[in-house]
Amino acid sequence: MIQKLSDLRPCDACQGPVGMQFYVLRMSLAFVRRRAVEEFLGMSMFFGGKAPVSLVENFAPAAADAIVVAGDTEPSLLTELLICNSCFLDRPIDLAHLMERRNATEPEA
């Protein structure tokens, strides 16, 4: 995670300097827990499909943690890209390619 000047590195898209203003993109894989969705849908059907989502979530305890973001629990599954202003605003960016390249160059923890 970028916190100090020594953490700065070149733009992941063009390999140039990031400058005084740049973008930090943090990406991680996310999963939806099937059991939580089934529980939520079951409670929704119980209420006739017309209850507010917040009410259904209160009666479906697993719905509170229905989405798991892998980078939250395992930081090694989080990819952080630094993108300079020029690349972010003026060029098409292939995020999948940049993520692969960043992950290949990061040292193993």
Tokens of 45: 């059907």
Give the pLDDT confidence score for residue 11 in this predicted structure.
Answer: 95
Give the pLDDT confidence score for residue 108 in this predicted structure.
Answer: 62
Tokens of 70: 């892998």
Q: How many CA atoms lie within 13 A of 47 on its CB side?
A: 17
Percentage of the chain with pLDDT > 90? 39
CA separation (Å) from 7 to 1, 3, 69, 80, 82?
8, 7, 24, 12, 11
- Whether pTM > 0.85 for this model: the answer is no
Tokens of 63: 């719905």
SS3 7: helix
CA separation (Å) from 5 to 2, 18, 43, 75?
8, 12, 50, 21
d(CA 69, CA 13): 25
4 pLDDT band, cuts 50/70/90, is confident
pLDDT in tens, 22-69: 999 999 888 888 888 888 889 899 989 888 888 888 888 877 778 888
d(CA 87, CA 103): 20
For 62, other C-beta atoms within 10 Å of its C-beta total: 15
Report domain extents, the chain: 5-105
pLDDT in tens, 34-43: 888 888 889 8
